[in-house]
Structure 1
Amino acid sequence: MPIDAARALAAEPRSATITWGHKDVQLYHLGLGAGANPDKPDPATDPDELRYTLESRLHVLPSFATVAGGGMGAMGGLSAPGIDVDLAAVLHGGQSVEPHRPIPVAGTATLTSKVAAIHDKGKAAVIVLRADAADDDGPLWTSEAQLYVRGEGGFGGERGPSARSAEPDRPADRSVDRPVRGDQALLYRLSGDWNPLHADPDFAKLAGFDRPILHGLCSYGMTLKAVVDTVLGGEVARVRACRTRFAGVAYPGETLRIGMWEEPGRVLARVTAVERDDAPVLADTVVEHART
């Protein structure tokens, strides 16, 4: 059944109450490799890493917004009126998070989600799902997931803006390697993404992969953590927004190479898989930040 863009865009937003605590934050950070930073001689007890793992020192990476409350807030937009698609044809094309203030270590919030836009790419449609979280003190974050749906284009809609951004014509100002543990996808999925693609070898083969792949949002969170740790002095509160395009996949056991270009008020990043000749993983990644 084709997408009814007008109906989907006119649908009323959906709201749900979400809660989280320090254990949810710690589990998420551990799923990103916190406590195993190869740049630290003893990462499990390093003060910089304890900010991600020890409840008495905890701060929250803004990318936690993608898993808070189980992580399915924006994805619920796929069940919105006018959206009837084959989930096997859906790819996560991009993600952005804009924190409006630091995310608390524990909290309760109202998450309001809706279909914000539907773009016609010809052979495919791109559905933009927006989720806004707010608590008693006001707005907390806005996140957007761009979902690429094969075979659903050609309905006469606008193509929408390009997600591509020009990469600086110079070597990266910084480059760090981050290993993906063999069990990392199994740990990360405990934060709410239960897609068997990331755990079941038989399911992964049906989807066209030799073995289970790492969650794209895990690569996204690992990249944001690397930028915070190496460019922003570990200050998560300086992050103003982080967006990326999922350009490829990563596998557990591989190494992510994160190249960073520093510009006033933002860091551009490119992420590749070292063991596969720097095959692309994330592209057009931008972390906007407050200056010191």
Structure 2
Amino acid sequence: MAVTIEQLQAIRAEAARFSYSDRESFLYALSVGFGRDPLNPGELPYVCENEDAIRTVPTMATVLTQFSALRESGIDYSKVLHAEQRLKVFRPLPAAATIVADYGVTAVVDKGPEKGALIFVETRVRNADDGQPLYTAGATIMARGDGGIGSVGDAPDVLPSPPARAPDQVVSFQTLPGQALLYRLNGDRNPLHSNPAMALRGGFSQPILHGLCTYGVACKTIIASICGYDHARIEQFDVRFTSPVYPGEQLDIDIWNEGTSVMFRCRAPARNVIALNNGVCTFRAFA
């Protein structure tokens, strides 16, 4: 057993500073599908500076900070899966900012020596200029090779299942063959997403799309189809990762309208697989 519960509990960072510019905001938006139609007035504020104020994609929050402590903790990273992503946005992300982040492991749920452990990490971010909160991002990591270490802390509530009824709306999105090559420029340069030989070694017929790219595509779809391109409406965006996507595949995003929120999932219909499931997007209530 290469890691202990005490080592995981000790993982933390406080007041780590990161900066980004509108270049990173534009790149992220392009990498999750904005700007496909350069004449669409709803999409242009996400990908260039024109007369309108720059708008940002809420899920960009997942790429603005980079911490290596969990990777270096001693867990068997070759057997790690990103199981869930949760995001609470307190206000729209600035197009450019210096941010301050606190990071740490909040809970561990031991599934047993043969089943691995769920590790819950949380990043709390505030704007350096005013010290006010921007967002909290929570990731659930499945460490398949590190079960039997014990449990600690309180895991978040289980994400709800989609309604049993047919979706209220289905929106198709065509991923590009080179989409992973573009998305990796946001910071995740794992060769599984770019190197065909490494993908084959990992059991895939070709490099796979980043799960967080599919997550961003789902957010882009909801911004466009539900929010009238108003990014400020999104307050929370949670999802479970269930299957990889291959660049170039068509994705169908199933959406259920629940009033102040929508539930969603993302399918690759050509292979009849669900890539994202248990998705919940909560909308901000404006006075």
TM score, norm. by length of structure 1? 0.90
Percent identity over the alignment is 35
TM-aligned CA distance change 1:161 to 1:52, over 3 Å: closer
Residue 43 of structure 2 aligns to a residue in which SS? helix
Residue 12 of structure 1 and its aligned partner are, at CA, apart by 4.5
Distance 1:204 1:162 in 2: 33
Q: 2:24 corresponds to which residue?
A: 24
Residue number among 275, 282, 285 corresponding to 2:279 in the alignment: 285
Distance 1:165 1:239 in 2: 18
Cα RMSD after superposing both structures: 1.7
Q: 1:202 corresponds to which residue?
A: 197
Distance 2:159 2:99 in 1: 33
Residue 24 of structure 1 and its aligned partner are, at CA, apart by 0.4
Quick check: 1:120–1:160 contact (8 Å CA) kept in 2? no
List alignment gaps of at least 5 residues for structure 2.
Answer: none
Residue 261 of structure 1 and its aligned partner are, at CA, apart by 0.2
Q: How does 1:19-58 map to 2 (within 5 A)?
A: 19-36=19-36, 43-56=37-50, 57=52, 58=54
Distance 2:234 2:201 in 1: 38
List per-residue Cα deviations over 1:110-157 (Å, max 9, x = no partner).
121111111112211111111111122211111011111112112332
Point out 4+ residue stretches in structure 1 off by more than 4 angstroms: 158-162
Quick check: 1:163–1:284 contact (8 Å CA) kept in 2? no
Residue number among 72, 77, 86 corresponding to 2:66 in the alignment: 72
Residue number among 100, 115, 118 corresponding to 1:126 in the alignment: 118
Amino acid at match of 1:121: K
Quick check: 2:43–2:229 contact (8 Å CA) kept in 1? no
Amino acid at match of 1:88: S
Residue 229 of structure 1 aligns to a residue in which SS? helix
Distance 1:85 1:55 in 2: 43
Quick check: 1:272–1:280 contact (8 Å CA) kept in 2? yes
Q: How does 1:48-197 map to 2 (within 5 A)?
A: 48-56=42-50, 57=52, 58-68=54-64, 71-73=65-67, 76-79=69-72, 83-122=73-112, 123-135=115-127, 136-137=129-130, 138-157=132-151, 160=155, 163-197=158-192
Residue 160 of structure 1 and its aligned partner are, at CA, apart by 4.3
Asked whether 1:266 is paired with 2:256, we answer no
Residue 237 of structure 1 aligns to a residue in which SS? helix
Distance 2:26 2:156 in 1: 36
Residue 238 of structure 2 aligns to a residue in which SS? strand
Residue 11 of structure 1 and its aligned partner are, at CA, apart by 4.8
Range with bigger deviation, 173-182 or 115-124: 115-124
Distance 1:4 1:163 in 2: 25
Residue 33 of structure 2 aligns to a residue in which SS? coil
Quick check: 1:268–1:286 contact (8 Å CA) kept in 2? yes
List per-residue Cα deviations over 1:242-263 (Å, max 9, x = no partner).
0111000100110110000011
TM-aligned CA distance change 1:176 to 1:195, over 3 Å: same
Distance 2:211 2:12 in 1: 29
Distance 2:264 2:173 in 1: 14
Distance 1:107 1:65 in 2: 12
Distance 1:221 1:76 in 2: 24
Distance 1:254 1:98 in 2: 29
List per-residue Cα deviations over 1:211-235 (Å, max 9, x = no partner).
0000000000000111111112211
TM-aligned CA distance change 1:218 to 1:241, over 3 Å: same
Quick check: 2:86–2:239 contact (8 Å CA) kept in 1? yes
Residue number among 218, 225, 230 corresponding to 2:220 in the alignment: 225
List alignment gaps of at least 5 residues for structure 1.
Answer: 37-42
Residue 127 of structure 1 aligns to a residue in which SS? strand
Residue 209 of structure 2 aligns to a residue in which SS? coil
Residue 236 of structure 1 and its aligned partner are, at CA, apart by 0.9
